[in-house]
Chains A and B, each alone.
Chain A
Amino acid sequence: MKMQGSFVDNLPRIYGLYTGGFIIFIGIMAVLEQMGVGADTIGILFVAFTVVIYAAIGWLSRTMQVDAYYVAGRSVPPVFNGMATAADWMSGASFVAMAGGIYMGGHAYLAFVVGWTGGYVLVASLMAPYLRKFGCYTVPDFIGTRYGGNLARFCAVLVLVVASFTYVTAQINATGTIASRALHIPFEIGVWFGLLGILLCSMLGGMRAVTWTQVAQYIVLIIAYLVPVIWMSNKQGFGVFPQLVYGDAVMRLGELETLHQVGVLKPAEAVPGLRALTVPHAAAGTTMLDSWRFITLTLCMMAGTASLPHILMRYFTTPSVKAARQSVAWSLLFIFLLYFTAPALATFTKLQVLDPNLATGIIGKSIAEVTALDWIRNWSEVGFLKVVDSNGDGILQINEFFMRGDIVVLATPEIAGLPYVISGLVAAGGMAAAMSTADGLLLAIANALSHDLYYKIIDPKAETKTRLVVARVLLIVIGAAGALVASLKLTSILGAVAWAFDFACSGLFFPLVLGVWWKRANRQGAIAGMLAGLIAGTWYLYMVRFAGMEPWIGIDHLRFGIIGMPVSLVAMVAVSLMTAAPDKETQDMVDATRIPKGASVLASSH
């Protein structure tokens, strides 16, 4: 890639061809299916083909230059950075679990949808343009330079590692799950296969390679998400823009919930890991506590979005401050395409299952008829679904149908009777979503350790070559550690994705915001803010999740940022005011950060 300029100019053409090629590939798979090629083979081809493409992009983007490795040479146009950020952002959880969460949890779960989109308003208005102007390579680089001193830098690295590592094990777990199911290998091996794919994308080219694979992964994942929904909606007569017209379906669900007595009939027994539907789809909670729980979760997810280093560092790669701002807007637009589809998908799938007038409806049918269905059999076999005739009347009631929310996206093509090629496409999309997020997270951790811990703190005289070798070794080591934790299947204990957001906002939100917006903020305050927030949040998480403490006013383990953030703010402001104001040099640095004009605070290669 010697002709960087012409490469950037050609991006629309390159990715246009890529998208066309992918659509042709889907067509070929559809033809193979018609010719009688088995479902398993198609699944393998989908996952293998896409992963090989990503690895090839990673190989082509290899580099030995520091600014290409850390910030993709700051040459990524806003729209493409938007796509890369969207892939970076949308994890296996967004792709696989979000629609299922809405299916099971109804309105309360939509707090995630609102939180994971509205956070970008904070990114755009408070953070991204200023960090871009600053010219840092990593988020701790900003903290370390703005506040000065190795301890502040180290605290930022600490928060980053805690938050990102929590998140990355869940993503490696997801790649392992999908790889093992699509390729028919044991989960423990699937995890390492997934890691191999992830490392191939990021190791040789750092941020540059991750950027261009993430754009490719976004294209795959958004096609894979939209096609089944549009197909299904068209089949049900809702047209090709299901997101705009599913209001009728939501209303119809309300009637069906009364008919099937959703929420009235409670499950007679508990099935571990699975749930019966007991929550209405659209109705919101009626108490103050319900509203409080909704907005506290929303706030934690939003502040976490604005503090997660793997997202913030994407905006370091744009050519200018103006481009960074525009890029945040494009990111959210691309994310929005999936997020406003997820509730539609949940609604249509639920309608398919609940509506006795549809051929696919199962509630109210006889147990024998339901258990004979292919998709019920397939998913029961792997333990993701269970039909129990609790009252022995031979008819399936709403409280006798148990499932894991996760399967909504994966099983929808089967439930709606779509061809297998769609299931293969969805598997490839889930893989793309999990891989792209894992890549961003691994890179964020490895870059912080190699740039901030190794180069800035341990060995400031290290040569470029050594720095980049250290960065790659760390990438492998951290990836392996993540895969090891994932293969131990501890993720059900450790891996709540929400925790990563809570850790990040507890420790980093205020030190980052006030670093730009409050000149008086100083080193002592920032260190106090990071440590107090992280410790308070972690303590609270431990108490409610593991030590059996009763949550305070509904603040459960998913929302512990509500405890961490105020502690961080108070500690930071109080300690800053009790100690000396930052010197003139630092104050001038903040002034320079606040205007787009002029050279960045840190030199382009540092």
Chain B
Amino acid sequence: MNSDQATHWRRTRNLMWVTLAIWFVFSFVVHWFADALNGASFLGFPFGFYMAAQGSLVVFVVLIFWFARTQDRIDRECGMAEDE
């Protein structure tokens, strides 16, 4: 494995951990406290309900588009992208 490839894998791994950390917060942490969050209101919704019905979903969609773009940038900068 050459050094470009090592750098690529290190950055890829870091991106994976960042992605999964965000995923973890919006999959589990937020919903663990749903009852407490319901005390607050967001766009007229009880906040805990909103996060489960819509908020987390929006985060997931944006997260994956962001992930795809960032990973592509890593691939190109490390010279590991596919030939177009």
Contacts of B42 in A (CB 8 A): 247
CB distance B80 to A124 under 8 Å?
no
B3 within 8 A of A: no
Against A, the Cβ 8 Å flags (1 = close, 0 = not) of B21-34 are 00100111001111
A471 within 8 A of B: no
Q: How far is the CA of A325 from the CA of B38 in the complex (A)?
A: 35
The binding surface of chain A is classed by DSSP as: helix
A245 within 8 A of B: yes
Contacts of A302 in B (CB 8 A): 27
Which residue on chain A has the smallest CB distance to residue B83?
Answer: A597
Known: A284-B35, A591-B5, A595-B5. A325 touches B28 (CB 8 A): no
Within 8 A of B (CB), among A27-55: none
Of B34, B68, B72, the contact of A284 (CB 8 Å cutoff): B34
CB distance A320 to B82 under 8 Å?
yes
B20 within 8 A of A: yes
A340 within 8 A of B: yes
A291 within 8 A of B: yes
CB distance A107 to B64 under 8 Å?
no
Known: A114-B56, A126-B16. A299 touches B65 (CB 8 A): no
Interface footprint category on A: 35 or more
CB distance B61 to A294 under 8 Å?
no
Within 8 A of B (CB), among A121-161: 121-122, 124-126, 129
CB distance A122 to B81 under 8 Å?
no
Contacts of B20 in A (CB 8 A): 121-122, 125
Q: How far is the CA of A281 from the CA of B9 in the complex (A)?
A: 46
Q: How far is the CA of A342 from the CA of B15 in the complex (A)?
A: 32
Of A286, A291, A325, the contact of B68 (CB 8 Å cutoff): A325
Contacts of A182 in B (CB 8 A): none
CB distance B63 to A113 under 8 Å?
no
Contacts of B15 in A (CB 8 A): 125
Min CB distance, B31 to chain A, in Å?
5
Contacts of A321 in B (CB 8 A): 82
Contacts of B81 in A (CB 8 A): 322, 596-597
Which residue on chain B has the smallest CB distance to residue A322?
Answer: B72
The residue in B12, B23, B28, B49 that gathers the most chain A C-beta atoms within 10 A of its C-beta is: B49
Contacts of A246 in B (CB 8 A): 45
Known: A118-B26, A295-B31. A125 touches B16 (CB 8 A): yes
The residue in B23, B56, B57 that gathers the most chain A C-beta atoms within 10 A of its C-beta is: B57
Min CB distance, A531 to chain B, in Å?
27
Q: How far is the CA of A321 from the CA of B28 in the complex (A)?
A: 29
Min CB distance, B7 to chain A, in Å?
11
CB distance B28 to A295 under 8 Å?
yes
Q: How far is the CA of A129 from the CA of B12 in the complex (A)?
A: 12
CB distance B44 to A325 under 8 Å?
no
A333 within 8 A of B: yes
Contacts of A283 in B (CB 8 A): 35, 38, 46, 49
Contacts of A129 in B (CB 8 A): 71
CB distance A124 to B75 under 8 Å?
no
Known: A122-B23, A124-B68, A595-B5. A294 touches B57 (CB 8 A): no
CB distance A121 to B49 under 8 Å?
no
Which residue on chain B has the smallest CB distance to residue A102?
Answer: B53
CB distance A596 to B64 under 8 Å?
no
Within 8 A of A (CB), among B37-84: 38, 41-46, 48-50, 52-54, 56-58, 60-61, 63-65, 67-68, 71-72, 75, 79-83
Of A107, A117, A245, A326, the contact of B56 (CB 8 Å cutoff): A117
Contacts of A340 in B (CB 8 A): 53-54, 57-58
CB distance B34 to A291 under 8 Å?
yes
Which residue on chain B has the smallest CB distance to residue A123?
Answer: B64
Min CB distance, A84 to chain B, in Å?
17
Q: Residues of B at under 8 Å CB distance from A?
A: 1, 5, 8-9, 12, 15-16, 19-20, 23, 26-28, 31-35, 38, 41-46, 48-50, 52-54, 56-58, 60-61, 63-65, 67-68, 71-72, 75, 79-83
Q: Which 9 A-B pairs have the closest CB atoms?
A: A247-B44, A284-B34, A247-B45, A110-B52, A343-B53, A282-B49, A325-B68, A329-B64, A595-B80
Can you report 5 A-B residue pairs in the complex whose CB atoms are below 8 A from each other?
A254-B46, A284-B48, A299-B27, A333-B65, A340-B54
With A247-B50, A284-B38 already in contact, 20 other A-B pairs whose C-beta atoms are closer than 8 Å: A111-B31, A118-B60, A121-B60, A122-B20, A124-B19, A125-B15, A125-B67, A247-B41, A247-B42, A247-B43, A247-B45, A284-B34, A285-B34, A291-B34, A326-B68, A329-B67, A340-B58, A591-B1, A594-B8, A597-B83
